Amino acid sequence: MNGVLLLNKPRGMTSHDCVMKIRRLLGTKKVGHTGTLDPDVDGVLPICVGSATKLVQFLTAETKEYIGEVTIGYSTTTEDATGALLERLPVSATFSSEQIDSVLREMIGTSEQVPPMYSAVKVDGKKLYEYARAGLEVERPQRVVTIFKLERISEIIHTDELVKFRFKVHGSKGIFIRTVAVTIGEKLGYPAHMSDLTRIASGNFKLTDCVTFKDIEKDDFDLLTIDVALADFPTVKVDTWIEKLIRNGVKLREEQISPPMKDGKFLIKSAQDGSPLSIHEWSEERQGYISVRGLF
């Protein structure tokens, strides 16, 4: 069994839990996920099975979409609803839709983001949440992230000295939506946290295309082929002679790939049967195309 399984990850399970369960359900050890989702977050989690585990590093999408909820009025240690209370400030203001929508528009674009202490980002080889659980605070590396779209998708609820609303965000790889929620609160002058989150897309993989564990248990699912999973990759086809060179691990000369592919990784397929052969990239140092991953 080989291919990519689009899983609608349930809440209450880690990404690793999902991998272990799929190994058991499908009867194979060769299973890997393409990027973690926090236990309390549900939604799109692409899972590679069998020979498709070769694709794991290439299916970590550059962009992702989420639907979340921000609660304004108190912050938590984890920046989400699972953490301990950090700061409380009852909301005395009544925010208009124009005020909030203006803040959201202001946040669209590229900026630097500091990862939460409760995250899997590594500092000196150790995950930040390991420091946090030990009661240690360490300097966190800033990362550049981009918000392409951020919009409110619900009414604004003022209740119990709190303000809540739901939002939809389309962001770059590595963005923390928990921190987006905290920033919304900061810009409105109050502590805040992310109180709900669902990933609705990872690259071109959509939530509407995902299956549940119940579907898998009923054998009501399909795996995406390697071909389909890499549909977004620039692609070239090569003749049998070049295919032989690829299978033997030989560096390809510039003139052996047409059209030229010098702007990143690309997929090479066999012109004979269309099967995927490898992922290659141009090397200035070696002045040739080198294999990043064989797929045969």
Q: What residues are annotated to the active site? A: 38
Task: Determine the Cα–Cα distance for residues 163 and 157; give it in Å rounded to an integer.
Answer: 6
Task: Determine the Cα–Cα distance for residues 103 and 287; give it in Å rounded to an integer.
Answer: 48
Residue with tokens 């989150």: 197
Alpha helices (H) in 108-156, listed in sequence order: 128-133
Q: Please check whether residue 12 is in contact with residue 40, taking contact to mean a CB–CB distance below 8 angstroms.
A: yes
Question: Cα 260–265–269 angle (5° rounding)?
Answer: 75
Residue with tokens 């699972």: 82
CB neighbour class for 192 (10 Å; exposed up to 12, middle 13-18, buried from 19): buried
Backbone angles phi, psi at 292, to 5 degrees: -95, -35
* Residue 215, both tokens: 């579907």
Alpha helices (H) in 134-201, listed in sequence order: 177-188
Q: Please check whether residue 113 is in contact with residue 182, taking contact to mean a CB–CB distance below 8 angstroms.
A: no
Q: Are strands 126-127 and 162-172 parallel, antiparallel or unpaired?
A: unpaired
Task: Determine the Cα–Cα distance for residues 175 and 180; give it in Å rounded to an integer.
Answer: 8
